[in-house]
Every structure is written in C-alpha cells, then in structure tokens.
Amino acid sequence: MLLSFALKAQENTYFTLTELDSIFNAEAYSDIIGLDVSQIKTVNKQELAEANFIFGKSFENLNKEDQAVNLYKKALELYTELGDTEQVARLNLELYLTIDSQNNLEVKNTDYLNKVYEHAKTNNSVKWLSVYYTNYGVEMLKANQGDSAKYYFEEALDLAQQIDSTRMQTNIAINLGSTYSRKFRNQDSAIIYYNQALKYYFSDTLNYKDLNTAFNIYNNIGNAYRRKKEYQKALDYYFMAEAIDLPKLNSKSKKILYSNMDITYYYLKDWPKAYDYLYKYDSIKDVINLKEQNSAITEIEERYDNEKLRADNLESEAKRKQNQNIAIGLGGSLALGSIIAFLVFKNVKRKQKLTEQAKKLQSQKLSTVLKEQELKAIDAMIEGQEKERQRIANDLHDDLGGMMATVKLHFDALKRDASKDLFEKTNKLINEAYQKVRTVAHVKNSGVMAKQGLLKAVQHLADTISASNQIDIEVVDHGLDQRLENSLELTLFRVIQELVTNIIKHAEATEATIHLTHHDDSINIMVEDNGKGFNPKQITKMNYGMGISSIDKRVEHLDGKLSIESELNKGTTVIIDIPL
C-alpha cells in the first residue's frame, strides 16, 4: 500500500480518502505532507473536511504546528457549515491543544476550550464535559492554583469513569500525578497516580498503541523519583521511556527526557554520562523553531478572525461598487476631457517639484558631508572620556552591586537568626565590599579570577550567596578542566555575577542553577531560576535596565548570542553562547 502511494505521488495523481486514512494509520506522515489536499478525491464537504483534518494531524505529528493550525481552521469552517456539532467540538479541542503546546505564544486559545464547554452543556455530554474539566484543570495548574487543578481533575475522572473511558482516565491520572509532584511536592502520591495511569493504559488495547502516553508516564515517574533523590530508580524509568520508538512528537519529548537524564547523572556525579545526555539535548534543542511557528500561528489567527468580518461586508461592498460603476459610467464622458487636462497639468507640476527636490538633496548631501567630518573629530575626543567613565560605572555596578545585594540577603537573614556564624559571614562580606571599592579605585579588576579561574570564582560566588539561607545556588560544569584567557574569564564572571544579582533583586526565587559548558569551539552559560518569571517580549533596547544592558553589551563585544526564556510563575532561563 505504501509503495503504491509513493508511486502515485510521483505521478501527481489523485487519492481516495480511504487511501489517505490508511497511510495516516501507517504513520507515514512525511508522505502525506508531501501532497496537497487538492490531490484527494472528495465527493462532499464532509470528506473534504476530514481530509483537511488528516493533513493537519500529519503536520502536527511532525512538529509543524503552524501549518497544522491552518488546516484545522479549514476543517473547522467546513464542519461548521455542515452543522456537525460533534466534529466542530473535536476541531476546537485540537486547535486548543495545538496552540497550547507552543511556548510563549500570546494567542488566546481558551476561546476554543470555552466552545468545547458550550457544546458539552448544550448536548448534556458527559464525555465532552470530562474533556473540558481535564483541560481547565491544566489551565489552573499553569496558573499555580494547585487546589483548583486537583478539584477539576477529580471531577473529570469521575465523569470518565461513568462512561468507562480508560483512555480519558489514563490522561486524567497523569495530570493528577503531575499536580501532586509539581505543586504539592508529594512524590509518593504522585507515583500512586502515575501507576494508576499505567494500569488504565495497559487495560485498553486500543490505547496501548499510543506510545506517547507510555513515554510520558515513564518520564513522569522518573521525575518523581528524581525529586525524591532516588536517582537510580529515576534512571530505570527514564530508560523505559528512552527505549520507546516514538511515532510522533519525537523531538519535543526526547528533548525533555535528555534534559532530565542529564541532571540525574549530574546528581549521581557520573560526569561522562551527564555530558553525553547534555550533548544529546543540545543536538535536538534547535530542531523545532518555535519562534517561527508562533509567528505563523499568530498570523493565521488574525487572518481567520478577519475573514468573518470580510464575509459580512461582502454583499454591501458589491452593491456599493455596482452603484459606483453606474455613476462613473454616466459621468465618464462629461468628465473625461477635464480629467485629461488635469492630469497633464499635474504631471508638469510634478516634474517641476522633482527638479527642485533634486537640487535640495544635492545641497543637503554636501552639508551632511561637512557635518560628518566635524562630528567625527568631536566623537574621537569624547570617545576616550566616555570609555573610562563606562568602565568605572560597569565595575561599580557589576562587582560592588552584586556584593551589596548579597550583603542585604545576609542582613535579612540576621533579622531572623542573629547567630555568631552568620554575623561573621556578613562582616566578612562587608570587608570584601570595602576591598572591592579600593580595587576599583586602583584599577585592579582581576581579583580572585587571576588566582583561581572562572569555575572556582563562580562556585565561590554561589557558596557565598547560598550561605544566607534564602536562595540555594548550584553550579554545574562540563568540560572546564583548563583555564581560559584571563580577560575572557573576567568578562564571563561579570556576566554571571550580574545575572545572579538580577535573580536576587527581582526573581523572588528559592533555587537557581548555573550551567557552564566548554565545547571545542564555544562556551555556553545557562542560568536558571524558579522565580516569578516575566514576559521576555517586554524587554526591549528602549526599556531594559542597566543589568541587562551591561550583559548584552559584554556578550555582543565577545561576538556571542544572548537569549532569554521566561514565563510568568514558571521561572527564567538565560542562555549565552560565546565563540572561542
């Protein structure tokens, strides 16, 4: 069947909907997206709608969500015209889930979920109400409302049990496990729910073919054991997930798994294997271009939102044009001579105006050249002064600013526990701050860097801040066995120091991790925190603070790349790549 399909595709011939469905069930998604929907023989709108849905699902299974959304929209339009409310509900759910799977996408996808709820209430459908409660629980989970999420998941599970849908029960049990693991920090209860999901999963012979579900359950159980610090058990379940040959969503799922296995081996201090899985993670993290997909999805949403308005205005616009054409026809003969004379006069005037503009431009060019020569001389004089001011400002902000933020943390801790040990640490930091001021004054900016190197300096920074007992900072390194050039180490330390200062000042985080990775031809820095997060799109070159500005300028000076990933209430990750 697949061979026949491939031969017909090469001949650019047509296919029946039955053939298309068979190829989809065989998971030959790449063959399907190589065609066009117009190559599918359809006898009515129902078949055409289903063909668009199958094409959309094929694109989604290959991580091309932007094109999937476009095809789902077309299928939704056709089913709406047919009045098939059940299929309309299915397409609204697919659109909600597809858009929800994209990170940092500012498209209001809850409208699709609300339409699923309206369908469930109108038709008194237990199945669709359970689907709505499940996904609304996920929305509550994303909003950090753990109790509300648990309530809706339990309501959904009760409804799913009423209709004896093991597939739905499997999905809901996974969500309950995630709620207990991530929000309530109760890993034992989470594991109970994950095992219940496995029980549902294997009891349904149809659901057994959905390998993505099995993959997610094993990965989640591994996460729960990792959070319990039972790392070997965590790896056992991660290996089960890794052994599954996923038929779809391969890149996204494997990316998450490799990241989990990397950090688990790190906790076990098995550095070679930790590096191996970090390498696997790096090798696929850029496969899926979410930024381009998000841009395309946003454009599709805007286009379809405007189509209804255009359709409503189409008839009145046609009538208006008809009346306008009649009026033009009646008055055309009379106005023709006047129009020609007016155009000739306007053309002469335009030529005169263009000639005058050309003379003015030539004069402006000469004036601009003279001004540029004068400005260059002034800029050369100012540049030396400005560089010295900037160097001192950066040193004070980056070095002393970070130190004083740490001192403030120690003073806050002293308010709660005025122990002798904490007092001595605070006093030591104040002495260090005093020495930093003296160092800046004498232009001695190498400090601990020249003696110990980047890794030890960063570790010292993390240990000093962690001693305040308000934020725990880990340092994870890969391949930093040898020293780098001293000025490069100093610049990288300043960047990390500023990132940590920003976390202390703004993130309200309790945990942070600094990853330092030395590849053959580059240095990678990744700083993560579990703080309150923010919207990265709000950071522009017009409004970012001195900290981000300083980091950006340092990275740009090293020909590096800076990227910021963050969501509200989900922490922040800053990734910096510096070529060597």
Domain boundary (209, 240, 258) is at 209
Whether residue 166 is found in the same domain as residue 224: no
- Residue pair 458/493 in contact by the 8 Å Cβ criterion: yes
Asked if residue 113 belongs to a domain, the reply is no
Whether residue 482 is found in the same domain as residue 495: yes
Asked if residue 256 belongs to a domain, the reply is yes
Whether residue 144 is found in the same domain as residue 60: no
Grouped pLDDT means (10 residues each) for the chain, 580 residues: 53 77 85 85 90 91 85 93 94 89 66 93 94 93 91 95 91 95 93 94 69 91 95 96 73 83 92 87 64 59 58 58 65 68 76 76 51 43 54 69 78 78 81 75 49 82 81 89 81 88 87 90 92 78 61 88 88 91
Query: CA-CA distance, 550 to 522, in Å (whole number)?
Result: 21
Asked if residue 560 belongs to a domain, the reply is yes
Asked if residue 409 belongs to a domain, the reply is no
Q: Is 519 exposed, middle or buried (0-12, 13-18, 19+ CB in 10 A)?
A: middle
Whether residue 93 is found in the same domain as residue 147: no
Answer positive or negative: Cα dihedral of 395, 397, 403, 404.
Answer: positive
pLDDT value, residue 119: 94
Asked if residue 384 belongs to a domain, the reply is no
Asked if residue 43 belongs to a domain, the reply is yes
pLDDT value, residue 370: 39
Query: CA-CA distance, 577 to 580, in Å (whole number)?
Result: 10
Q: Give residue for tokens 């930024």.
A: 291
pLDDT value, residue 337: 65
> What DSSP string runs through 135-163?
HHHHHHHHTT-HHHHHHHHHHHHHHHHHT
Whether residue 142 is found in the same domain as residue 76: no
Query: CA-CA distance, 451 to 250, in Å (whole number)?
Result: 46
pLDDT value, residue 512: 94
Length of the chain, please? Answer: 580
Distances (CA, A) of 235 to 36, 130, 175, 249: 43, 33, 21, 22
Pairing of strands 40-41, 15-16: parallel
Supply the pTM of this predicted model.
0.52
- Residue pair 96/115 in contact by the 8 Å Cβ criterion: no
DSSP 8-state code for residue 424:
H
Whether residue 205 is found in the same domain as residue 224: no
Q: What's the CATH code of the domain at 488?
A: 3.30.565.10
Closest CA to 85 of 44, 47, 115, 52: 115
280's CB contacts (< 8 A; 6+ apart) are 254, 258
Domain boundary (209, 230, 263) is at 209
Q: Which domain holds residue 44?
A: 1-102
- Residue pair 555/562 in contact by the 8 Å Cβ criterion: yes
Asked if residue 345 belongs to a domain, the reply is no
pLDDT value, residue 435: 78
> What DSSP string runs through 371-418?
HHHHHHHHHHHHHHHHHHHHHHHHHIIIIIHHHHHHHHHHHHHHHH--
pLDDT value, residue 5: 55
Distances (CA, A) of 95 to 47, 61, 259, 261: 19, 14, 28, 32
Instruction: Output the CA torsion 231→232→237→241 (10° steps).
Output: 90
Whether residue 553 is found in the same domain as residue 511: yes
Whether residue 494 is found in the same domain as residue 504: yes
Residue type, 377: A
Whether residue 512 is found in the same domain as residue 543: yes
Whether residue 197 is found in the same domain as residue 242: no
Contacts by 409-414 with C-beta closer than 8 Å and gap 24+?
409/465, 409/468, 409/470, 409/471, 409/504, 410/467, 410/468, 412/468, 412/470, 413/468, 413/469, 413/470
Q: What's the CATH code of the domain at 177?
A: 1.25.40.10
Domain boundary (158, 190, 209) is at 209
Give the tokens for residue 217.
Answer: 């359950």
Asked if residue 500 belongs to a domain, the reply is yes
Q: What's the CATH code of the domain at 7?
A: 1.25.40
Whether residue 12 is found in the same domain as residue 84: yes
- SS3 breakdown of the chain: % helix, strand, coil, rounded to 5? 75, 5, 20
Q: How many CB atoms lie within 10 A of CB 395?
A: 18
Q: How many domains does the chain have?
A: 4
Closest CA to 548 of 502, 491, 512: 502
Whether residue 92 is found in the same domain as residue 29: yes
pLDDT value, residue 107: 61
- Residue pair 79/49 in contact by the 8 Å Cβ criterion: yes
pLDDT value, residue 447: 44
Query: CA-CA distance, 419 to 416, in Å (whole number)?
Result: 9
- Residue pair 51/20 in contact by the 8 Å Cβ criterion: yes
Q: Give residue for tokens 């189509």.
A: 307
